[in-house]
Amino acid sequence: MGATPIPDFDAIIIGAGLSGMYQLYRLREQGLRVRVFEAGTNVGGTWYWNRYPGARFDSESYSYGYSFSKELLQEWDWSEHFAGQPETLRYCNFVADKFDLRRDIQFESRVKAAVYDDNSPSWSVTLEDGSSFTCRFLITAIGPLSTPTLPRVEGLDAFKGASFHTARWPKEPVDFTGKRVAVIGTGATGIQTIQTIAGQVGHLTVFQRTANWAAPLHNGKIDAETQAKIKASYPEIFARCRETFACFIHTTDPRGAFEVSDEEREANYERLYGERGFGIWIGNFNDILIDKKANATISDFVARKIRQRVKNRAVAEKLIPGNHGFGTRRLPLETFYYEVYNQDNVELVDIKETPIERLTAKGIKTSDKEYEFDIIIYATGFDAITGSFDKIDFRGTGGVRLKDKWKTGPETYLGIMVHEFPNMLMLMGPHTALGNIPRSIEYSVDWVTGLISFATEKKLTRLEATPDGVKSWTDHVRTLGEGMLSNEVDSWMTGINSNVEGKQTRIVARYSGSAPAYRARCDEVAAKGYVELRLG
Ligand code: NA7
C-alpha cells in the first residue's frame, strides 16, 4: 500500500463572512495551511450581500464587532449606535486588511459539493467551476441567513421592470426618484427598506402577508466623548455579553409581568419603548416570551403605540399582528416605520385579503386588481439555517447525503458536528446559540480551533460525533425549545419558508437555551478531552 496522500490544505473554510474570517485568523495562528472559498468578490458575508437601502445593525455596534483583538477595538470607531451596512462592510474590509486575510481567500468561488473519503481520511471540495481541493478539516462558515428565496408565484420572470431581492442588491445605487415601487415582505429587512425608501420614491406599495411586531431602534451618532467611554469600557461590555442569555448587552428583567402593579408594568413598557435597541424584547419581564398572558400585556402595549402612530385606523389595524405575540418572531427594530403609512404616496396591501395571483409584464396582479410598477423589491427572506447546507452536496461516510439525513430536521452534536460526517465542523449551523452573532461566532471558532489543535497535537486524523452524542444533543435542544412561544409560531426561526418545497413543517432549528449554558456544555466536552467523540 502507498503512503496516505497529504491533503492540499489542513483546513478548508467555506465562506468569508464574520465566522470564516475569524476562523482563518485562528487557524493560521496555529500554523495550519488554510484556504477559504467565498462566493462573493470580497469579504463580509451578510454585510457583503445585504446592500439594500437601510440595512443596519439592530444590536449595538460596540457589542457587535470582534472582541479578540484589543488593538482592533481601539483602532476602529463606530460612528453610530447601530451602524449601517456600508460602515459594517468597511469594518470587515478593515479587519481583512489589518490581519492580511485575503491572501488565503479565494473569491468568486462557490462551493458545489464536499465529499468525505474515509481512506485518506480527507474531504474533497468541488467548486462551481469544476476545480477541486482536498483538506483534512472542513469548516462550514456559510451563515444561518444566506440563501435568499423569491416568492413562489406565477410569472416571476414576466415583469419587465427592475427587480431585486434585498440580499442580492446591486453594488451601484438604485435611483428611486419618481419611481413606482413595490416591496413584498415586511420582516426585519422589509421594514428597514420601506422606512428608508419611502421618502425617495414616487409611489410605494407594500405587500404585507403577515404583520410583524416592531419597536423603535432609537439610533444616534456616537460623539467623541461617548466614543472614548466605549473604548475604555470594552472589557466590561464583552463581560456583560458573556453573561446575558443571548450575548446582547440587555439583561432580562428578573421580574415576571404580573409581579408588578398595572401602573408599574405600563411605566416599564413606556421606558423600554423609549430606549435604544432590543431592550423591549430581551431586557423585558422574564415571562413575556414563555407565558401567553404575560405576552398579551406587551402585545397590547405595542398595539396601542401603533394605533397612536398610524393615522388611518384601518391601516393601523392591518399593521397589528393578529396571529402571534410580540417578540415571538425575531423583532424588527424601526425608525419612523409606522409614520411611513401616513404619507399620501404609500399604500399598504394586505395580501391575506387580496392574494398575489401572478406577476405581469407591468407589475403585480392580486385578486383585486393589477398594480403597475417600475421596481419590485423582494424582501422575502431566506431559506434559513439549513438552507445553505441543502445547497451544497455534502456527502459523508459511505456517500450519505446531509440533505437526506436532515430531511425531517437537523440532527447535530453541539450544533457543530454530525454523525457520519467526520472532520466537518459547522460554525453557526443548526442547534447552536445564535443571539448577538459575533459573540457566538467567536466562541464557536475558539472551540473548533481548540478541537483542531487537540487533534494536531495527538496526531488524530479523524474526529466524528457518535450517534449517542447526536441523539442526546438533539433531544436536549428539542426539550429546551418546549414552552418557548417562538417555537409555536411560523417563522424562519422554526424553519418555515413558504417558498421552499418541504419547508412548511416547523422544526427545532435553533438552540434556545442560554448562551452561558451552551458554552458551559461545550467547555465541559473540551475539558474532558473530547472523549464523547469517536477519535481516530
Ligand atoms: P423574514 O423575517 O423571513 O421576512 C420575510 C417576509 O417576506 C415576511 O414578511 C414574509 O411573510 C414575506 N414573504 C415571504 N414570502 C412571501 C410571498 N411568497 N408572498 C408574500 N410575502 C412573502 O426575512 P427578513 O429578510 O426580513 O429577515 C430575516 C432575518 O435577517 C431577520 O430576522 C434578521 O435576523 C436578519 P410571512 O411572514 O411569511 O407571511
What separation in Å is there between the alpha carbon of 6 and the centre of ligand 1? 45
Classified as helix, coil or strand, 493 is helix
Domain ends where: 351, 378, 405? 378
Query: How far is the CA of 384 from the CAs of 69, 90, 430, 507, 509, in angstroms?
Result: 30, 25, 9, 12, 9
Residue closest by Cα to atom 17 of ligand 1: 151
Query: How far is the CA of 105 from the CAs of 20, 143, 201, in angstroms?
Result: 10, 17, 39
What separation in Å is there between the alpha carbon of 237 and the centre of ligand 1? 31
- With a CB cutoff of 8 Å and minimum separation 6, the contacts of 377 are 52, 163, 164, 166, 181, 182, 183, 184, 193, 197
- With a CB cutoff of 8 Å and minimum separation 6, the contacts of 281 are 215, 250, 327, 331
**272 within domain boundaries:** yes
What separation in Å is there between the alpha carbon of 204 and the centre of ligand 1? 18
Structural domain containing residue 437: 9-43+101-147+384-480+514-535
- Indicate whether 287 and 436 sit together in one domain: no
Residue 149 CB-half CA count within 13 A: 21
**495 within domain boundaries:** no
Q: Do 331 and 342 contact (CB within 8 A), yes or no?
A: no
Total domains present in the chain: 2
- Indicate whether 226 and 187 sit together in one domain: yes
Q: Mean of the pLDDT values across residues 108-123?
A: 96
Among 189, 213, 247, 437, say which to mutate for ligand 1: greatest number of ligand atoms within 8 Å of CB: 189
- Indicate whether 304 and 424 sit together in one domain: no
Reported as a single tens digit per residue, the pLDDT across 321-341 is: 999 999 999 999 999 999 999
Q: Mean of the pLDDT values across residues 14-24?
A: 98
Q: What is the 3-state secondary structure (H, E, C) of 307-345?
A: HHHCCCHHHHHHHCCCCCCCCCCCCCEECCHHHHCCCCC
* 330 C-beta closer than 6 A to ligand 1: yes
Which secondary-structure segment (H or E) carries 478? helix 467-481
At residue 179, does pLDDT exceed 90?
Answer: yes
Domain ends where: 346, 378, 410? 378
Q: What is the pTM of this model?
A: 0.97
Torsion of CA 367, 370, 375, 376, to 10 degrees: 10
- Indicate whether 335 and 389 sit together in one domain: no
Q: How many residues in the chain?
A: 536
Say how far apart CA 67 and CA 22 lie, in whole Å.
11
Give the amino acid at 416. Answer: I
- Indicate whether 204 and 275 sit together in one domain: yes
Say how far apart CA 411 and CA 324 lie, in whole Å.
27
Which of the 8 DSSP states describes residue 158?
A: T
Which of the 8 DSSP states describes residue 401?
A: B
Confidence of residue 5 (pLDDT cuts 50, 70, 90): confident
Atom of ligand 1 minimally distant from the CA of 210: 39
CATH number of the domain within which 402 lies = 3.50.50.60
Give the amino acid at 352. Answer: K
Strand 346-350 versus strand 424-426 pairing type: unpaired
Reported as a single tens digit per residue, the pLDDT across 26-58 is: 999 999 999 999 999 999 999 999 999 999 999
* 209 C-beta closer than 6 A to ligand 1: yes
- Taking alpha carbons only, the member of 451, 468, 473, 485 closest to residue 517 is 473
Confidence of residue 138 (pLDDT cuts 50, 70, 90): very high
Say how far apart CA 300 and CA 277 lie, in whole Å.
20
**61 within domain boundaries:** no
Domain ends where: 359, 378, 397? 378
- Taking alpha carbons only, the member of 40, 34, 51 closest to residue 17 is 40
At residue 1, does pLDDT exceed 60?
Answer: no
**94 within domain boundaries:** no
What separation in Å is there between the alpha carbon of 452 and the centre of ligand 1? 37
- Indicate whether 349 and 403 sit together in one domain: no
* 381 C-beta closer than 6 A to ligand 1: yes
- Indicate whether 284 and 350 sit together in one domain: yes
Reported as a single tens digit per residue, the pLDDT across 404-441 is: 999 999 999 999 999 999 999 999 999 998 999 999 99
Reported as a single tens digit per residue, the pLDDT across 483-524 is: 999 999 999 999 999 999 999 999 999 999 999 999 999 999
Reported as a single tens digit per residue, the pLDDT across 191-240 is: 999 999 999 999 999 999 999 999 999 999 999 999 999 999 999 999 99
- Indicate whether 186 and 260 sit together in one domain: yes
